[in-house]
Structure 1
């Protein structure tokens, strides 16, 4: 299984881009050790995800984001590898699912498509895996032994499983069954907004979901990410779990940071290949 690579000893700058169903955002990530590691150099740059979100249009938007970042003062070399996280199962650089993106992506080589658009090397990783890598290295999971599960609540539900630093990729917890349907259709942040649930009502659904995960996987720590992680006091105190559950620390930058971390990993580590 792929292992989280050792932290770089210096502070290299790496471009990371987080592709979502509604927005695409990127930044220059400072890796390495120290209090500033895992943070962005400057502000994020965001563009709306084109609709329909087709390969050609999304690749052009990605190129716009990278071009903007390339022109910033502390950008890495223009031919350096870019990390991209994407909302699908990513198997050897190929898109294998399309729950929240256009189905035309299925079977498309994300790596080839993005490398053609950028004319430079690209590492592509599942978006929840990227968030998990970032939290395990620089966030709420740093130094935590055992099984850490990072669950992102947003348009869908993403998940990353990291056991003693070993990433299990493409951990699609949003596709688990809950009340006879896919869990993300009932317990995602989008489902809460769509159905107008107040926080106690939503917490009941999260209770069922996290209890199900707890029963199956017996994790040592849950980390909750996604935009909802900005409001942990509205729902986390309402959950009754044996497993500790905490909000993600990197919040909306987790995907960018994790993508950059994956891009900086030595392929020999087997992180994504």
Structure 2
């Protein structure tokens, strides 16, 4: 078995901000300050690369060859970004992993942002030691998802796009946190939408645990108790640091 590094750098690229930190991957804790810069307007590849270089400089790890993982809001297949959420369409079909490796002069591990959040929770958070199927969802501007079976990630699940035929919308257009904010829904009104969503996932996949992430998870006591499910559903532990921790953990493997 390959020895796992004790520390690694995680970078979490989002539509509005790029965050990074050094992680102790034996405990899943940050061992540095968290560096953050704004995502460049338009979020084109070269501009995002320059911003990643900036956060690595802020952490003083630009020349450090410890493992580096990058989380990105897209479907990732063989190092290519196959979609683009809140970033430039230039990323669609783009050989992103090689682009970053060439630009940074080091090996990296490139993965979907919701997937790495799932890894953070299953290794160090709410789903640690959970057998069977865990489904993590991140409720934010959209709905991201990660499916993990007995600790093994099934990548690029994109469960925010399951369809709600009654209204002709996908799940995130009906039940994301941004929808609640835009429509001014109460917690109870939003919970009715979440009830449909999680009941549908429950029917499709028969999971053993739901983990709910995203910034709104800090208010989970206002909406999770309103849901009636057969499957246990719990808030995520790592919230805004999940992408950093999960990306670093995968890079260290």
CA distance in 2, matches of 1:83, 1:27: 10
2:191 matched to 1:203?
yes
Residue 64 of structure 1 corresponds to which residue in structure 2?
Answer: 54
- SS of the counterpart of 2:129? coil
Query: Is the contact between residue 111 and residue 124 of structure 1 (CA under 8 Å) also seen in structure 2?
Result: yes
CA distance in 1, matches of 2:35, 2:184: 31
Deviation at 1:43, TM superposition (A): 2.1
2:162 matched to 1:176?
yes
Residue 159 of structure 1 corresponds to which residue in structure 2?
Answer: 145
Query: Is the contact between residue 13 and residue 76 of structure 1 (CA under 8 Å) also seen in structure 2?
Result: no
Deviations along 1:197-255, one digit per CA (max 9) or x if unpaired, are 12111111111110110010000000001111111111101111110000001111111
CA distance in 1, matches of 2:62, 2:56: 11
TM-score (norm 1): 0.88
- SS of the counterpart of 2:192? helix
TM alignment of 1:66-105, pairs within 5 A:
66-69=56-59, 71=60, 78-105=64-91
**1:43 pairs with 4, 15, 33, which one?**
33
- SS of the counterpart of 2:156? coil
Query: Is the contact between residue 53 and residue 62 of structure 2 (CA under 8 Å) also seen in structure 1?
Result: no
Residue 110 of structure 2 corresponds to which residue in structure 1?
Answer: 124
Query: Is the contact between residue 175 and residue 182 of structure 1 (CA under 8 Å) also seen in structure 2?
Result: yes
Alpha-carbon spacing, 1:63–1:245, altered in 2? closer, same or farther (3 Å): same
2:17 matched to 1:23?
yes
Query: Is the contact between residue 80 and residue 121 of structure 1 (CA under 8 Å) also seen in structure 2?
Result: no
TM-score (norm 2): 0.95
Query: Is the contact between residue 100 and residue 156 of structure 1 (CA under 8 Å) also seen in structure 2?
Result: no
CA distance in 1, matches of 2:136, 2:11: 19
2:225 matched to 1:232?
no
Deviations along 1:145-179, one digit per CA (max 9) or x if unpaired, are 11111111112111111111121000100111123
Query: Is the contact between residue 115 and residue 122 of structure 1 (CA under 8 Å) also seen in structure 2?
Result: yes
Structure 1 unaligned segments of length 5 or more: list them. 266-273
Q: Return structure 1 stretches of 4+ with deviation > 3 angstroms.
A: 5-8
Paired residues, what number? Answer: 251
Structure 2 unaligned segments of length 5 or more: list them. none
Deviation at 1:77, TM superposition (A): 6.6
Residue 130 of structure 2 corresponds to which residue in structure 1?
Answer: 144
CA distance in 2, matches of 1:6, 1:257: 20
Query: Is the contact between residue 7 and residue 66 of structure 2 (CA under 8 Å) also seen in structure 1?
Result: no
Query: Is the contact between residue 85 and residue 130 of structure 1 (CA under 8 Å) also seen in structure 2?
Result: yes
